[in-house]
Amino acid sequence: MAEPYTTALLLTVFAGLLASSVLLSRLAGRASVPLALLYLGIGMLAGSEGLGGLHFESYAWTFRIGTVSLVLILFDGGLHTPLGAIKEALGPAAVLATVGVAATAALVAVLAHLFGLGWGAAMLLGAVVSSTDAAAVFAVLRGSGMQLKRRVGATLELESGLNDPMAVILTVALTGSLAGGGALGWRLLLDVLVQLAVGTVAGLLFGWLGRVLLGRLRLRVHGLWPVLTTALAFAAFGVPTLFQGSGFLAVYVGGMVLGNGALPYRSGLYRVHDALAWFSQVAMFLMLGLLVYPSRLFEVGWIGLALGLSVALIARPAAVLFCLWPFGYRARELAYICWTGLRGAVPIILATFPILARVPGAHRVFDLVFFIVVVNAVVPGSTVRWVTRRLGLESGAPPPPAALLEIVSARPLKDDVIAFYVSPASAVAGATISDLPFPEGAAALLIIRGEELIAPRGATRLSAGDHVYIFCRRKDRGFLQLLFGQAEEEE
């Protein structure tokens, strides 16, 4: 009977940690504390050297659970990446995700060596912290309520979703070299090219297969749709990984392909995967917090602080400026991308590789990585909102409505329900419904005015600040956008 008791105790403790994370997240938002830092802090507080006294030191389980969490986070990020953003920012994001990661790794290695680390440990540290973190970037950009200029936001999100493979490849190669005593050579470049190519092809293939499967399958139970898409996400990661490809790249690309197609039960799928991604972020950061021993951090405190600031103020800006100068970004956009190079769970998970491989000095590298992540969360992470407003990079998109109108269907529909925001400068502001030249078959379904729901009638007058839902045929979408302006979901 000991096992059921232990399981119940673990679930109760975990429930308390999850609930504390959610309840304190509102206070953290008001204080501009990054959520990732909050969750890490709660985990450390509950850990073996904290008030909770929970002993957890399984790097293998950390790696496995962290990998599953990252798959769910990257898949959700891909689902929410619109085609327009991909077209607009794919080039610069791809350069940042490859050349930028390699440049950051090299710069951090040089800086770490200057602070006293041997070249092996310095190069390993540079590889581990070389990529920005999708979980941290998505949490800050999507969880803060900010609406960035589209090109800047798309560049940051695409970069964070695409750059994990390069960091994984560099870390694995360096770990193998240091553990086995081998030398790095031209095969590293070949491995990079193979993993990126296999991952991209696999992601496109699984995304396309997902579109075909979801388009033809008929499920009576709506709850089974997210089960199927989750299975697709895991397969998109696992299969290319078994064939020497990048599973992280594949799952993100697969999510993008799937999300930009016609999906059954789309709103329900988005809600489920958004919830899975947030659950994964909270659970992953809590677990990583439990894994940390604060007493060991004091031993590398000054080096960790110096390296954390160096990554934020030297390595990241230098790599970004080197990679993005040909793409015509304005100075304030470059400054913002330089500043918002957030590190999070990915570097900490990558830091478990050398520990599992028994590389000498691996625990010291792990402690430095944790310190760098915390410093990056505090310095750039806590100032993102202020910097966004200071640089004037908010998109000026309309505020979200107090309520949403959704059409839930198990099959893709031929017609559309589109939401429009009535701005003060809009041509329809002040007009009555009967005055508007709706195409044949189109109609206004609902007006949301503040916290009031209004059923449109012919004499109903549209006011600035209204959110209007219009039913129309797909072919009439362009005309309605000329009449009302850009649809809200495309901002």
Mean per-residue pLDDT for 441-469? 90
Q: What is residue 490's predicted lDDT score, i.e. its pLDDT?
A: 47
Q: What is the DSSP letter of 119?
A: H
Q: What is residue 193's predicted lDDT score, i.e. its pLDDT?
A: 83
Lowest-pLDDT range of 7-11, 22-26, 184-188: 184-188
Vertex 394: Cα angle to 388 and 397 (nearest 5): 155
95 with 169, same domain: the answer is yes
Q: CA-to-CA distance for 377 and 50, rounded, in angstroms?
A: 21
pLDDT of residue 34 exceeding 80, the answer is no
Positive or negative CA dihedral for 175, 176, 180, 181?
negative
Mean per-residue pLDDT for 384-403? 77
| 65 contacts 241 by C-beta, under 8 angstroms | no
Of 335, 357, 390, the residue at which a domain comes to its end is: 390
Angle between helices 247-259 and 150-162 (to 10 degrees): 140
Q: What is residue 385's predicted lDDT score, i.e. its pLDDT?
A: 79
Q: CA-to-CA distance for 249 and 167, rounded, in angstroms?
A: 11
Q: CA-to-CA distance for 484 and 421, rounded, in angstroms?
A: 8
Q: What is the DSSP letter of 381?
A: G
Which is higher by pLDDT, 2 or 320? 320
360 with 419, same domain: the answer is no
pLDDT of residue 144 exceeding 60, the answer is no
Q: How confident is the model at residue 29 (pLDDT cuts 50, 70, 90)?
A: low
| Secondary structure element (H or E) that encloses residue 419, with its range | strand 415-421
In a domain, 397, yes or no: no
What is the DSSP track for 182-234? ----HHHHHHHHHHHHHHHHHHHHHHHHHHHHHHH---S-TTHHHHHHHHHHH
Q: CATH code at 447?
A: 3.30.70.1450
pLDDT of residue 272 exceeding 90, the answer is yes
450 with 375, same domain: the answer is no
Contacts of 365 (CB under 8 A, 6+ apart): 121, 124, 125, 128, 351, 354, 359
Mean per-residue pLDDT for 382-388? 81
Mean per-residue pLDDT for 107-118? 92
Q: CA-to-CA distance for 23 and 474, rounded, in angstroms?
A: 42
441 with 371, same domain: the answer is no
3-state DSSP assignment of residue 432: strand
| 122 contacts 109 by C-beta, under 8 angstroms | yes
Mean pLDDT, all residues of the chain? 84
What is the DSSP track for 335-374? HHHHHT----HHHHHHTHHHHHTT-TTHHHHHHHHHHHHH
Alpha carbon dihedral 4, 5, 7, 11, in 10-degree steps, equals 130
In a domain, 4, yes or no: no
Q: CA-to-CA distance for 463 and 431, rounded, in angstroms?
A: 8
175-198 burial string, b = 16+ CB within 10 Å, else e? bbbbbeeeeeeeeeeeebebbbeb
Query: Which of 145-154, 174-183, 288-297, 317-326 tops mean pLDDT?
Result: 317-326
pLDDT of residue 52 exceeding 90, the answer is no
Domain that holds residue 441: 415-490
328 with 468, same domain: the answer is no
350 with 430, same domain: the answer is no
Q: What is residue 145's predicted lDDT score, i.e. its pLDDT?
A: 58
* pTM of the full structure: 0.82
117 with 192, same domain: the answer is yes
Ramachandran assignment for 299, one of left (phi > 0), alpha (psi -120 to 50 degrees), beta (any other) = alpha
Q: How confident is the model at residue 1 (pLDDT cuts 50, 70, 90)?
A: very low
383 with 441, same domain: the answer is no
Positive or negative CA dihedral for 107, 109, 110, 115?
positive
pLDDT of residue 468 exceeding 70, the answer is yes
Which is higher by pLDDT, 58 or 455? 455
Q: CATH code at 60?
A: 1.20.1530.20
Which is higher by pLDDT, 182 or 267? 267
Q: How confident is the model at residue 234 (pLDDT cuts 50, 70, 90)?
A: very high
84 with 196, same domain: the answer is yes
pLDDT tens string 193-210: 888 899 999 999 999 999
Which is higher by pLDDT, 462 or 289? 462
Number of structural domains the chain divides into: 2
366 with 444, same domain: the answer is no
104 with 178, same domain: the answer is yes
Which is higher by pLDDT, 188 or 421? 421
Q: What is residue 344's predicted lDDT score, i.e. its pLDDT?
A: 76
* pLDDT cut 70: percent of the chain above it: 91
Q: What is residue 139's predicted lDDT score, i.e. its pLDDT?
A: 67
Tokens read off for 228: 């199927």
Q: CA-to-CA distance for 412 and 267, rounded, in angstroms?
A: 11
Mean per-residue pLDDT for 122-129? 92
pLDDT of residue 181 exceeding 80, the answer is no
| Helix residue ranges per DSSP H, 47-185 | 59-79, 83-95, 101-114, 119-128, 134-143, 150-162, 164-180
Of 357, 390, 423, the residue at which a domain comes to its end is: 390
Mean per-residue pLDDT for 110-121? 91
Of 343, 375, 390, the residue at which a domain comes to its end is: 390
In a domain, 454, yes or no: yes
Q: How confident is the model at residue 232 (pLDDT cuts 50, 70, 90)?
A: very high
Ramachandran assignment for 2, one of left (phi > 0), alpha (psi -120 to 50 degrees), beta (any other) = alpha
In a domain, 401, yes or no: no
| 366 contacts 355 by C-beta, under 8 angstroms | yes
In a domain, 367, yes or no: yes
Q: What is residue 489's predicted lDDT score, i.e. its pLDDT?
A: 60
- Count CB neighbours of 162 within 10 A: 28
In a domain, 10, yes or no: no
